[in-house]
Each structure stands twice: as C-alpha cells, then as structure tokens.
C-alpha cells in the first residue's frame, strides 16, 4: 500500500513546494515546510504521518512566546480565536509557546490534495491570527 506521506510529497513536488522529509526517532515520518506570510516571516509547518498510514498531524510550533504574567490574558484570546476558526486550533504549551494544530484522518487516494490543503490552511490560520496574538501580548 502506498504511504500517505508519499502521496503528499508527490502533490507538493508537482506544485513546486520546497520541503524537507524526515523520519522521527519513534519511526513516524514527516515533512517540514517554511512559508513567508503577510504578517510573519518564517511560518514553519510540520506534518507527521502516523505509522498506521491513516492520518496527518499538522503543526506550527512557536507562533509566539507568552510570558507567565500574560498567560491568562492570552488563554482568553486563544479561546476566542478557537471559537471563530475551523480546522486549526491554538494552544499554549507548558513552555509558554503558542502553537497551531490540526489532526486529520486521510485516505491514501486523497492524501496529497488534502494534506496540501491542510498545510495552506495552517499558514492562513497563523497569518490571520498572528496580529491578534501580538496585540494581546503587547497591547
């Protein structure tokens, strides 16, 4: 059976995306891509395919860092963003980084176009929400 990550890589290559493919220590495979967005340079997207060949985990880590004294305010801001957005949600990890995340079950036949769409939606979500997060952080 063809791997979903192979399908995604083929789709991205056909559309002239630059990416780096990797194998994680746990055996899961993935890719990373970096985009220049309107509101922020260097939006780095990570896509991991599960070892069962049935789903993608799409992440953008370190959208911004939240100091401890701004955490509660940022949690309220993120909650509002998550109520308004579909597909991607934001969260603050234990180190204070705001991350964007989406998990999707995919079939091998559609993994290429679906994976590409999720990547582009992640870039769009980060790009749209970054100014709001910065306003909350520094406002």
Structure tokens at 24: 């994680």
User: Is pLDDT of 9 > 70?
Assistant: yes
Over the stretch 72-106, which tens digit does the pLDDT of each residue have?
999 999 999 999 987 799 999 999 999 999 999 99
CATH for the stretch 4-138: 3.30.1460.70
The residues spanned by each domain of the chain are 4-138
pLDDT at 80: 96
Q: Give the integer Cα–Cα distance in Å for 100 and 116.
A: 16
Q: What is the pTM of this model?
A: 0.93
Q: Which are the contacts of 48, defined by CB distance < 8 A and separation ≥ 6? A: 24, 28, 29, 30, 56, 57, 59
């Amino acid at each position: 059976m063809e791997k979903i990550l192979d399908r995604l890589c083929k789709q991205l290559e056909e559309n002239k995306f630059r990416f780096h493919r990797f194998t994680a220590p746990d055996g899961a495979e993935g890719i990373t891509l970096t985009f220049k967005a309107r509101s922020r340079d260097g939006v780095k997207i990570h896509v991991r395919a599960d070892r069962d060949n049935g789903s993608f985990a799409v992440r953008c880590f370190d959208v911004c860092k939240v100091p401890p004294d701004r955490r509660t305010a940022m949690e309220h801001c993120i909650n509002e963003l998550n109520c308004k957005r579909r597909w991607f949600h934001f969260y603050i990890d234990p180190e204070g980084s705001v991350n964007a995340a989406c998990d999707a079950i995919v079939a091998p036949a559609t993994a290429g176009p679906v994976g590409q769409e999720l990547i582009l939606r992640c870039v769009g979500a980060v790009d749209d929400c970054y100014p709001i997060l910065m306003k909350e952080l520094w406002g």
